[in-house]
């Protein structure tokens, strides 16, 4: 294939992917609004109504071979972008890890040296809400998660203040992580305390007023 044709083909593929992702994120917003506006129903009924109104008609537009992957992607994006849906899931299946939601930003008790000391540890880990342990390596500005099933996620890390940093999603072959995030998605972290074998951390999705606190073990 000639270089010019190859470039055009790649550009068309990238445009098609961006359009599909934008469509899915728009759908997620509509689904989230339906969850928010159906609080008079029980949790199961709210989810069923949301699926009937939004998800099933959307998936019917695609070949059957693509529906499972699309459905899973939308399910995980809902968890990222819709606090009401995440709260509903937590009521049905409470998190088993260290994660807790807080309504306001916490104040760190550490100075710059204390916060950035987490970079001195070659191996870190944290618990998923499922209870599984995720191994983490931070090196040369990269944040790499290794999951129980052998999959990974790779993100860029950048400090934005003495005790706060952001990570930016690059890629993943983990089913939940590649469904949860698209390339360029960012997450804001804060180190707010250090204990004998872990750091107390918080994470926020930009645009959300929800903070999640958890333990990062060293």
Confidence (pTM):
0.82
Which pair of structure tokens corresponds to residue 190? 């804060």
**CA 80, CA 179: separation in Å to the nearest integer?**
9
Per-residue pLDDT of the chain (218 residues; tens, 9 = 90+): 455 544 444 444 443 444 467 888 899 999 999 999 999 999 999 999 999 999 999 999 999 999 999 999 999 999 999 999 999 998 888 878 889 888 889 999 999 999 999 999 989 999 998 899 999 999 999 999 999 999 999 999 999 999 999 999 999 999 999 999 999 999 999 999 999 999 999 999 988 888 999 999 99
**CA 107, CA 104: separation in Å to the nearest integer?**
10
The residue written with tokens 């390596």 in the block is: 137
**CA 23, CA 11: separation in Å to the nearest integer?**
18
Radius of gyration of the chain (CA): 19
The number of residues making up the chain comes to 218
**CA 46, CA 38: separation in Å to the nearest integer?**
6
**CA 127, CA 198: separation in Å to the nearest integer?**
12
**CA 83, CA 161: separation in Å to the nearest integer?**
26
Which pair of structure tokens corresponds to residue 184? 């360029």
């Amino acid at each position: 294939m000639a270089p010019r044709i190859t470039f055009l083909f790649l550009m068309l593929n990238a445009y098609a992917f961006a359009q599909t992702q934008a469509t899915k994120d728009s759908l997620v917003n509509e689904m989230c609004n339906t969850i928010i506006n159906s609080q008079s129903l029980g949790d199961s009924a709210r989810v069923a109504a949301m699926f009937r109104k939004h998800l099933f008609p959307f998936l019917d537009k695609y070949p059957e071979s693509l529906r499972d992957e699309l459905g899973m992607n939308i399910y995980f994006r809902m968890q990222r972008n819709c606090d009401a849906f995440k709260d509903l899931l937590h009521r049905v299946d409470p998190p088993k890890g260290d994660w807790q939601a807080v309504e306001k930003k916490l104040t760190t008790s550490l100075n710059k040296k204390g916060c950035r000391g987490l970079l001195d540890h070659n191996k870190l880990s944290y618990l998923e809400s499922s209870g599984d342990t995720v191994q983490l390596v931070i090196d040369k500005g990269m944040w790499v998660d290794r999951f129980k099933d052998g999959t990974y996620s790779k993100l860029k890390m950048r400090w934005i203040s003495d005790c706060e940093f952001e990570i930016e999603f690059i890629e993943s072959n983990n089913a939940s992580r590649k469904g949860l995030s698209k390339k360029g998605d960012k997450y804001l972290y804060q180190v707010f305390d250090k204990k004998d074998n872990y750091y107390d951390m918080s994470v926020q999705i930009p645009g959300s007023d929800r903070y999640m606190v958890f333990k990062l073990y060293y």
